[in-house]
Structure 1
Amino acid sequence: MREYDLSTARWRKSTYSDQNGGSCVEIADDFPGVVPVRDSKAGADGPVVAVPASAWSAFIGAVKNARFTAA
């Protein structure tokens, strides 16, 4: 398992996050090959998942193309 130094990461919230601290996903840019993802409600010391950049791109593409439906 590889570890990343996220001490200088600049996190940004999803544009779909609400302004009241609700469901918020944050990602950090500038990590070649991976996209660090965290839940902003867990705070700066919360867990981070490092997703391969290709998998993140596929996920975002699927979301944009409405490939997820409610069960």
Structure 2
Amino acid sequence: MAEVLLVSKPLAAPWTDSAKNLVHTLVTHATGHHQFHCFVPQNGHLPLPHVTCESIYANAGSYAPGLGQNMLG
């Protein structure tokens, strides 16, 4: 079985970051014989048998657009 280490931002909501979305999609839709190792926020996990989660982040963080970005819409 091949082992794959995926390094990204914490895999947790909000799902507004394409880097997190790519890793999440790779892990949740993987087929074949791969064991994935991912980093998640504390007390976070991905309930998949082929995924090992390591909690190294204190929390998932937050996202808030700047005032200038809000005014562009």
Q: Which is bigger in relative contact order (C-alpha 8 A, separation at least 6)?
A: 2
Q: Same fold (TM over 0.5)?
A: no
Q: TM-score range by the shorter chain?
A: under 0.3
TM-score, scaled relative to structure 1:
0.24
Q: Which structure's CA Rg is the greater one?
A: 2
TM-score, scaled relative to structure 2:
0.23
